[in-house]
Structure 1
Amino acid sequence: MNAIDTLLEKIERAPSLDFGTIFNQSIELFKKTWVQGLVMLLLTMLLMIPFYVIMYLPMIAMGLFDPESLNNMEEFNVLLMIPFILFMILFVIFAMVVAFGMKASFYRICKIKDLNKATADDYFFYLKKPYLGKVIGLSLATFGITLVAVLLCVLPVFYVIVPVTLMNVIFAFNPELSTSEIVKAGFKLGNKKWLLTIGLIIISGLIAEIIGLLMCCVGIFVTASFAYLPAYFIYKESVGFDENNDNEAYGMSYE
């Protein structure tokens, strides 16, 4: 039996999970990983800064050297917007890839902390070879799925948010699977645990935001990663970890 069949069989045989247990486990793991979650978020933001600068510099320059051109839209050359639009598309793709890769690397760190393994944190683990190509493919796949859901009157977004969320954690612990197999497994586990997952996503997200805002607003950078943790335990309790692949999780990579 190959890897994807084994994974799908484990998902099919997944036991019932308790909302309170998963939530409490997430709180305990957050105590161990809040620093790593904060670093992940800050690194993600830092990687975006150069793109924001490059994106806004031309607009600032136009406003400084020819402010009337921005006020008089009748004389504005639409062709000038084409490079800006192309750059925006590239920026969105870059942002998706970085966010997906950093989040998958964070889940790997979560496993290390959860199992009390003494291994260095690597926030760029899945943004390097041999995983980067697959991260790009999965980022585009999740974007396409979300876009289709939005075009279908928005409501389907509430359905796809669960499998899209779980695709990230499935990839983190099964990077040897193909993009299509990870998408398939994401929907399989999402359908199996949809109500539990959406409930935990909403509750954990609200709590992270409320507590973060109470901490003088900047605290939201500290608490934001808490919203990612329920997905980790849903995967862990539904599928579990393959002990034969533990070497990969603690530093070795697939060839």
Structure 2
Amino acid sequence: MNKITQDRIEQIKKNGYELDFGNVFNHAFENYKKIALYAGLIIFVFFVLLSILAFGTLIAIFGAPAIVDFVKPENLQTENISINTLLIITGASALSSCLLSPFPAGLIKMAYCAERDEEFHVSTMFEFYKAPYFKELFVATFLVSISSSIISTIINYAQIPVLGFIVTVTISLFTVILIPLIIFGKLKAVEAIQTSILVVAKQPLVLLGLIVIGSIGVMVGFIGCCIGIFFTFPFMYSLYYAIYSEIIGFETEVENRN
């Protein structure tokens, strides 16, 4: 962690911080307009290629008939899935999230570049597949994903869907600046998780409101054969960037605050 960011975090621990909903939202939206088309196209292409790779791998391992049978609605109900299968799915989901964690980090970096009128390219999306970022993003995502998966699995078996939704939203809320803390603040995985929780706890309602409104905005992308979701989805990463920028800031910004 760099010294200036550390000082800012210590300041937040002691005195908290002010966060204006309107300022953060406008900041995110203005930034989003600069990256929407480019980021949306990259997400769409990446999603298509990843889907082809994933289905191709599954078919090669299990065969097409087994995959078709498994995805039948009656077989996807929690009570009809064996514990071993559920553990495999949970593990595979967590591993996939970990391996893909540098991708959203790249989207956030793209938002950073856009605000400063710096050039960004496809390579920006994959910039954090290198040391030391990949390890920290992988570990942080693994810890969050596995915790969320275990809790969600227990809740699903208890058949309390509302509680499952609340847990998912809570975890998303308290890890909202996890990735920026790693890629901008240079924090280690566990330290980033702890800091994100601490910072969010100072203004949970404002941040929850931002995430809810942002999520609703992203869902608008489902209009128009669902293709639009690829172009509204980058708004969430622009929002994460704006939240981090407003709360923690960057070196020159933090220096000005002090």
What's the TM-score once normalised by structure 2's chain length?
0.74
Match of 2:201 among 182, 187, 191: 191
Which amino acid letter does the alignment assign opposite residue 118 of structure 2? K
Higher relative contact order (CA 8 A, sep 6+): 2
Unaligned ranges ≥5, structure 1: 68-81, 245-255
Tell me the residue number matched to 2:93.
92
Q: 2:249 & 2:184 partners in 1: Cα distance?
A: 10
Q: Which residue of 2 aligns with 1:50?
A: 53
Runs of 4+ off more than 6 Å: 84-87
Match of 2:63 among 60, 63, 66: 60
Q: Which residue of 2 aligns with 1:126?
A: 128
CA separation of 1:221 and 1:144: change in aligned 2, threshold 3 A: same
Q: Is the alpha carbon distance of 1:102 and 1:56 closer, same or farther for their aligned partners in structure 2, counting shifts above 3 Å?
A: same
- The residue that corresponds to 1:31 in the other structure is 33
CA drift at 1:61: 4.7
Aligned pairs, number: 226
Are 1:222 and 2:200 matched, yes or no?
Answer: no
Counterpart contact for 1:26–1:230, Cα < 8 Å: yes
Give the aligned partner of residue 189 of structure 2.
179
Q: Could you tell me whether the CA contact under 8 Å between 1:104 and 1:171 is conserved in 2? A: no
Aligned-residue identity in percent: 21
SS at match of 1:126: coil
CA distance in 2, matches of 1:38, 1:238: 26
Q: Distance in 2 between matches of 1:170 and 1:141?
A: 16
**1:19 corresponds to:** 21
**Whole-angstrom distance in 2 between the partners of 1:128 and 1:92:** 22
Structure 2 vs 1, CA of residues 241 and 63 (structure 1 numbering), >3 Å: closer, same or farther? closer
Cα distance change of structure 1 residues 39 and 173 upon mapping to structure 2, 3 Å threshold: farther
AA in 2 matched with 1:112: C
1:55 aligned partner, one-letter code: L
Q: Tell me the CA shift for residue 128 of structure 1.
A: 2.2
Let me know the Cα RMSD of the aligned residues: 3.1
> Relative to structure 2, which stretch is displaced further, 118-127 or 129-138?
118-127
Q: Secondary structure at 2:125's aligned position in 1?
A: coil
Structure 1 position 49, deviation (Å)? 3.0
- C-alpha change, 1:11 and 1:134, in structure 2 (3 Å) is same
CA contact (8 A) 2:90 2:149 kept: no
